[in-house]
Amino acid sequence: MTRTPRHASVFRSARERRSGERRVLVEARAKVNLGLEVLGRRADGYHTLSSLLWAIDLADRVTLEAAPAGITVTCDVPDVPLTEDNLAWRAADLVRHETGVAAGVRIHIAKAIPVAAGLGGGSADAAAVLAGLGALWGHRLPPGRLRGLAQALGMDVPFFLGASPALASERGEVLRPVAARLAIPLVVVNPGFPVATRDVYARLEPGDFSGGAAVRALVRAVRGGLPAVAGHLVNGLERALNGLWPGLGEAKAALVEAGCLGAVLSGSGPTVIGVAPSRAAVHRVMARLRGRPWRLWATQTVAGPALTVAVTGSAVGQRRRG
């Protein structure tokens, strides 16, 4: 079932109803990697991966509004870049060039997903702009072209344009849907500082590479319920991250000691996720972890679209002449 964005009420003001101005709000969910294996290093410098990706109900809210020209990004988190270094800005720039739309856009990002945490927040925001601008400007790109733009922005971005969960391969951009409706209760632990993905991958050694069997076993385990899933969690980046954050093992152990069935690093980290035996158990685990120097979230996996788009008003886009 599609969830209604909590900020959908911003569309309902009398002024907006009178003006008919189009505004788009996208709920951009975070993702977790319940399993990730690095199969090897490619000639182009990327790594070949196998990963089970799943959206969760922790989400940024990305609001798109028409502007006469240009691209403006604002955010309620001070450390987020606001120009060309921001993936959402770059997504808008790609769409403008691809569609030939003359109008501009104001983008506001209300962050709930921690930055550079292995939860795909920047990629989710970029996907939100790719999907939302079609609705704002009234010029929807064919799915293949949209996926091409997503891939140009980053290998995590295509996942957010599709359905959760999915099995990712190659550089992470080749996705195969996984038939699973299981809502997995999770405790999310973040140490409160960012880690750059490139720094983690730079520390990989040949011994960190594997053949993909562990992730395939995890996908099969999804049919067996929560204990089976928890018993097959895997992330081949953990050793590399441990050199940047020696507290990784402590965080995983603390989650299990507090009542989780298992714990694993998400993506390139430093966020760690614990699989709880039930929704009620999530809150018990969090209560036992309070006082630790970490940020905590209670969440669960979400099956279906990784983005939810809400629209009001009339299309505003115009194609450039010439």
pLDDT in tens, 5-40: 333 333 333 344 334 578 999 999 999 999 999 999
Mean pLDDT of the chain: 90
Distance (Å, whole) CA 174 – CA 306: 16
* 270 upstream amide cis, omega within 30 of 0: yes
Q: Which of 31, 111, 125, 252 is catalytic?
A: 31
Considering 140-149, 260-269, 304-313, the range whose residues carry the highest mean pLDDT is 260-269
pLDDT bracket for residue 96 (50, 70, 90): very high
Q: Which of 111, 125, 156, 252 is catalytic?
A: 156
Burial of 321 (0-12, 13-18, 19+ CB in 10 A): exposed
93 CB-side CA count, 13 A? 13
- Residues 6 or more apart whose Cβ sits within 8 Å of residue 74: 82, 106, 107, 108, 109
Predicted pLDDT of residue 14: 36
Average pLDDT over residues 139-147: 91
125 included as an active-site residue: no
Distance (Å, whole) CA 151 – CA 149: 5
What architecture does CATH give domain 179-302? 2-Layer Sandwich (3.30)
Distance (Å, whole) CA 243 – CA 249: 11
Specify the 3-state DSSP secondary structure of 112.
coil
Predicted pLDDT of residue 316: 52
For the chain, what percentages of helix, strand and coil (3-state, to nearest 5) are there? 35, 30, 35
Compare 151 and 319 and report the one with higher pLDDT.
151
Predicted pLDDT of residue 322: 31
Domain map of the chain by residue range?
20-175+304-312, 179-302
pLDDT for residue 290 is more than 50: yes
Dihedral angle sign, alpha carbons of residues 160, 165, 169, 172: positive
Predicted pLDDT of residue 181: 82
pLDDT bracket for residue 113 (50, 70, 90): very high
pLDDT digits (tens, 9 = 90+) for 187-238: 999 999 999 999 999 999 999 999 999 999 999 999 999 999 999 999 999 9
Predicted pLDDT of residue 313: 72
Compare 254 and 80 and report the one with higher pLDDT.
254
Average pLDDT over residues 251-269: 97
199 included as an active-site residue: no
Predicted pLDDT of residue 314: 61
CATH, domain range 20-175+304-312? 3.30.230.10
Predicted pLDDT of residue 200: 97
Q: What is the pTM of this model?
A: 0.88
Percent of the chain with pLDDT over 90: 82
pLDDT for residue 4 is more than 50: no
C-beta separation of 308 from 27 below 8 A: yes
